[in-house]
Structure 1
Amino acid sequence: MEYRMEELAREAGITVRTVRFYRERGLLRPPRREGRVAWYDDRHLARLRTIAALLERGHTLNGIADLATAFESGRDVGEVLGLGEPTEETPVRLTPEELADHFAGEVTPENLAAALDLGYLATDGEALVHISRHLLEVSAALVRAGIPLAAVLETGRRVRAHTEALAELFATLAQDHAAATPPAELRPLARSVVTAELSLALDRRLRPPRDPKPARKT
Structure 2
Amino acid sequence: MTEKREYRMEELARLAGITVRTLRFYRERKLIPPPRREGRIAWYDDHHLARLRTIAALLERGHTLTGIAELAEALDHGRDVADLLGVATPTEEEPVRLTPEELAARFEGQVTPENLAAALELGYLGTDGDEIVHISRRLLDVSAALVREGIPLAEVLTAGKRVREHVDDLAEMFADLVLRHTGEDDLQRLRPLARSVVEAELSLALDRRLRKQSERDGP
TM-score over 0.5 (shorter chain): yes
Richer in helix (by share): 2
1:195 aligned partner, one-letter code: E
What is aligned with 2:208? 204
Give CA-to-partner distance per residue, 1:31-63, whole Å, 9 cap, x none.
001111000001100000000000001100000
Greater Rg over alpha carbons, structure: 1
- Structure 2: tracts of 5 or more residues without a match: none
In the alignment, the residues of structure 2 paired with residue 195 and residue 173 of structure 1 have an alpha-carbon distance, to the nearest angstrom, of 18
What is aligned with 1:104? 108
What is aligned with 2:198? 194
What is aligned with 1:154? 158
Of 121, 126, 132, 1:122 maps to 126
Of 54, 58, 81, 1:54 maps to 58
Query: Is residue 85 of structure 2 the alignment partner of residue 81 of structure 1?
Result: yes
Deviation at 1:177, TM superposition (A): 1.0
In the alignment, the residues of structure 2 paired with residue 85 and residue 93 of structure 1 have an alpha-carbon distance, to the nearest angstrom, of 18
Of 24, 37, 48, 2:41 maps to 37
In the alignment, the residues of structure 1 paired with residue 218 and residue 52 of structure 2 have an alpha-carbon distance, to the nearest angstrom, of 67
In the alignment, the residues of structure 2 paired with residue 213 and residue 12 of structure 1 have an alpha-carbon distance, to the nearest angstrom, of 61
Of 132, 135, 138, 2:136 maps to 132
2:199 aligned partner, one-letter code: T
- Structure 1: tracts of 5 or more residues without a match: none
Cα–Cα, structure 1 residues 212 and 29, in superposed 2: closer, same or farther, change >3 Å? closer
Cα–Cα, structure 1 residues 212 and 126, in superposed 2: closer, same or farther, change >3 Å? closer
What is aligned with 2:74? 70
In the alignment, the residues of structure 2 paired with residue 191 and residue 213 of structure 1 have an alpha-carbon distance, to the nearest angstrom, of 35
TM-score normalized by structure 1? 0.94
Give CA-to-partner distance per residue, 1:149-176, whole Å, 9 cap, x none.
0000000000000000000010001101
* CA-atom RMSD in angstroms: 1.7
TM-score normalized by structure 2? 0.94
Cα–Cα, structure 1 residues 213 and 108, in superposed 2: closer, same or farther, change >3 Å? closer
Identity %, equivalent residues:
72
What is aligned with 1:169? 173
Give CA-to-partner distance per residue, 1:41-99, whole Å, 9 cap, x none.
01100000000000001100000000000010001111111111111100000000000
1:210 aligned partner, one-letter code: E
1:109 aligned partner, one-letter code: P
